[in-house]
Structure 1
Amino acid sequence: MTAPEPSARLADLMRDEWGRLLALLVARFRRLDLAEDGLAEAFEAAARTWPRDGAPANGAAWLLTAARRRVLDRLRSEQVLARAMPLLEVEADLAARARRVMADAGEPLTDERLRLVLLCAHPRLSREAASALSLRLVLGVPTADVARLFLQSTPTMAARLTRARKKLAGERFALPPGAELADRLAVAADVAYLAFTAGYAPATGDAVVRAELAGEAVRLVRVLRDVRPPDGDLDRATELDALLALVLLQHSRRDARVRDGAPVLLPDQDRTAWHQDEIGEALDLLAPLASAPPAPYLLQALVAAEHAIAPTAAATAWDRVLARYDELLALTDTPVVRLNRAVAVAEVAGPRAGLDALSGVALRGHRLPSLRAELLRRAGDLDGARHAYDAAVALCDNAAERDHLRRRRAELA
């Protein structure tokens, strides 16, 4: 097999290794700002030299060595190396701390990216800032996509990320004790789901789905479940089980969501292409939760399960889906929940009822006008649908979805 080009190899390392390398540097040098800058400079150096000299056999080790040298140079130039070294947290101590918070005597927590997520989930930061910073640092989600997830402009999000980094300056890169660990795991769960969303429905670029990013987020949820305290809050444990079920159910459809580079909507998907092993695991997770109190991730997972168990799109129990969204709306009244509920309303009571359910909903991006366009189309208002499609196209930054919207509009003619 032909070795990948250096540029492609570097792109793969950026996607797969950024979070781990950054976490190792933060553990070593205790400076998030220097670690991030040093790693970025190492990638820049690789982009200059690898095409000329060839990619090294162990690209991750090359990048880590280069980044360490740059951080050490910066520390020496700041004349703070002597003061920084006593603060270093060695890996042996980190592993010992990890073993003390494991639910059993099994494998110790050694995932450096999880430590970085927990650092980003520090109480100094708001939950939104912690989630945004973790997405950017741990999984390398572009700032523009993070901004879309939080319904903000890219410059605003860039400024917020900078402020969040500054708030973490000097914080210890270690696992927090029991109660604080449970709180941070809850924030980390939100982070994982936001990361999954960035992969499952990318706001920018030309991909319908970023399966690698979504898969990494699924893995992060598994790690969070593995390290949750055995005597922790039962409701939080239930939500982690529900969150894993939710992402597994959604991720199971990844191969059916794309055809010839174009998105395939849920009713048109080939259900034989869904990953039945992941669906089965998710349903097993949900079975013991049937009598659990309503909670956001649980209700969303139950909605996804209704789609998973239906043999065809037409057989979906939309009345049960709508009932779940009504429960979810009572718990968390957000524009996204109202948007998704309007879909269920339209299936139960018709497109006009769905349009009425969208009344008063304000949401950045193209998803609101694109849903309005589809409902207007079904209601027979073709002129209104054209205008809504035009609005959606103008607001859509994902090339594949934008092409899909244009095709849908063209079909109206």
Structure 2
Amino acid sequence: MKELVPAVLGVLVRRGADFAAAEDAVQDALVEALRVWPGDPPRDPKAWLITVAWRRFVDATRADAARRRREELADREPPPGPARERDDTLRLYFLCAHPSLTPSSAVALTLRAVGGLTTRQIAAAYLVPEATMAQRISRAKRTVSGVHLDRPGDVATVLRVLYLVFNEGYSGDVDLSAEAIRLTRQLASAIDHPEVAGLLALMLLHHARRASRTGPRGELVPLAEQDRGRWDTAMIAEGVAILQAALARDRLGEFQAQAAIAALHADARVAAETDWVQILEWYDELAALTDSPIVRLNRAVAVGEADGPRAGLAALAALDDTLPRYRAVAAHLHERAGEPAVAARLYAEAAARSLDLAERDHLTRQAARLNARPT
């Protein structure tokens, strides 16, 4: 039932319903479906939900003061029968990722309106009180209620929102990484765009390694040390196939380039077989596309692996040392260059600056390991 929510909500919005009121009407229709469907399942669930939600919206509208407008809306009710095949999901994605919204509001609204999650589930996933999340979603709905999408939406903004959802991972009773993959699959079915495919491939390739990313006590396991036998090979194969089809269209974007890097990591049976030369080439492409300092930081790691740690440190020296993970990267390269004392100090500094508990613990252990070595 949840997968029908964006299509139903999109139909109501397209017919002229205010976004917030339409979303309330769809939720009412879902509650009614839970009551009615077990004993009397509809032949066309989508058409049933559209009909009931539209009636709920019209009933609510009739309680307002503008009677003439109410009667005009009521006259638009479609005749009984199968719902007309028109996918409004894409419109809804663009609306929820509208540039007037903050990233956090866009993510929350996407999960609520497109994902069909409850406010309680979203609040639990983001570790905030339900009332706080309810206010955030209400403000977002008010912001987009008067927005008319009369021009094509920005696909890049939608993809950034979905990637934000994916990177939240797992919290509470909602697996946001899996939810982001589901929503991106849905988007890919609604729009033929190589970067949508690139993002889906990237998510699948990252998600395939999930089981190996942490140890038995929840500790962080770096990529080079992961048990590759625990990687999901079917998911990797699907991600690679989607990526290859996207790259064949010769419209390279940043998510395709990131997915290509992830695919090269997934292709190595052991860490020592990683094709760092190709990975460095893809980082060059990615840096040209984004000019992101974080990309250039990760590129320095690839330079260190492909051309040696001194070359990596030279690439790192050109970057701002206040970047997140700068000291962790520097520590790794100095350790590979045979400078354990410098590396231990940098690992400790990186740990002190990290806001992520698992990462901080890992960096602290790295510093302790090097400090424990005989001099």
Q: Please state whether the residue corresponding to 1:264 is helix, strand or coil.
A: coil
Q: Which range moved further: 135-144 or 211-220?
A: 135-144
CA distance in 2, matches of 1:290, 1:198: 30
Aligned to 1:281: 238
CA distance in 2, matches of 1:91, 1:121: 29
Aligned to 1:216: 179
CA distance in 2, matches of 1:187, 1:33: 21
Q: Please state whether the residue corresponding to 1:138 is helix, strand or coil.
A: helix
Confirm whether residue 262 of structure 1 aligns to residue 238 of structure 2.
Answer: no
Give the unaligned 5+ runs of structure 2.
Answer: 25-33, 36-52, 113-121, 128-135
If the length of structure 2 is used for normalisation, what is the TM-score? Answer: 0.68
Change (3 A) 1:121 1:197: same
Among candidates 371, 385, 391, match of residue 329 of structure 2: 371
1:249 is displaced (CA, Å) by 0.9
1:117–1:188 CA contact under 8 A, matched in 2: yes
Change (3 A) 1:372 1:215: same
2:202–2:239 CA contact under 8 A, matched in 1: yes
Equivalent runs, 1:136-147 vs 2, <5 Å: 136-139=108-111
Q: Please state whether the residue corresponding to 1:258 is helix, strand or coil.
A: coil
1:185–1:224 CA contact under 8 A, matched in 2: no
CA distance in 1, matches of 2:174, 2:342: 35
Change (3 A) 1:228 1:25: closer
Partner AA of 2:105 in structure 1: L
CA distance in 2, matches of 1:339, 1:273: 28
CA distance in 1, matches of 2:160, 2:22: 25
CA RMSD of aligned residues (A): 4.8
1:256–1:274 CA contact under 8 A, matched in 2: yes
Change (3 A) 1:344 1:79: same
If the length of structure 1 is used for normalisation, what is the TM-score? Answer: 0.62
1:212 is displaced (CA, Å) by 1.6
Change (3 A) 1:394 1:330: same
Aligned to 2:166: 196
2:10–2:88 CA contact under 8 A, matched in 1: no
CA distance in 2, matches of 1:185, 1:382: 46
Change (3 A) 1:35 1:285: closer
2:198–2:255 CA contact under 8 A, matched in 1: yes
Partner AA of 1:239 in structure 2: E
CA distance in 2, matches of 1:143, 1:352: 45
Partner AA of 1:218 in structure 2: I
Change (3 A) 1:119 1:349: same
The structure with more radius of gyration: 2
CA distance in 2, matches of 1:296, 1:376: 29
Q: Which has the higher contact order (CA 8 A, sep 6+)?
A: 1
How many residue pairs end up in the alignment?
Answer: 326
Among candidates 182, 189, 194, match of residue 226 of structure 1: 189
Give the unaligned 5+ runs of structure 1.
Answer: 1-16, 38-57, 60-67, 101-108, 147-159, 230-236
1:382 is displaced (CA, Å) by 3.6
Aligned to 2:366: 408
Aligned to 1:300: 258
CA distance in 1, matches of 2:77, 2:162: 26
CA distance in 1, matches of 2:326, 2:108: 26
Change (3 A) 1:365 1:332: closer
Partner AA of 1:246 in structure 2: L
CA distance in 1, matches of 2:123, 2:313: 33
2:351–2:364 CA contact under 8 A, matched in 1: yes
CA distance in 2, matches of 1:83, 1:271: 65
Aligned to 1:398: 356
1:342–1:358 CA contact under 8 A, matched in 2: yes
In the TM superposition, what whole-angstrom CA distance separates every residue of 1:308-353 from its partner, at most 9, and x where no partner exists? 1111110011101101111121221101210111110010122222
2:197–2:242 CA contact under 8 A, matched in 1: yes
CA distance in 1, matches of 2:347, 2:68: 59
1:386 is displaced (CA, Å) by 3.6
Confirm whether residue 310 of structure 1 aligns to residue 273 of structure 2.
Answer: no
Partner AA of 1:120 in structure 2: C
Aligned to 1:134: 106
Change (3 A) 1:32 1:83: farther
1:256–1:270 CA contact under 8 A, matched in 2: yes
In the TM superposition, what whole-angstrom CA distance separates every residue of 1:384-413 from its partner, at most 9, and x where no partner exists? 334433332233222222211211111121
Aligned to 1:103: none
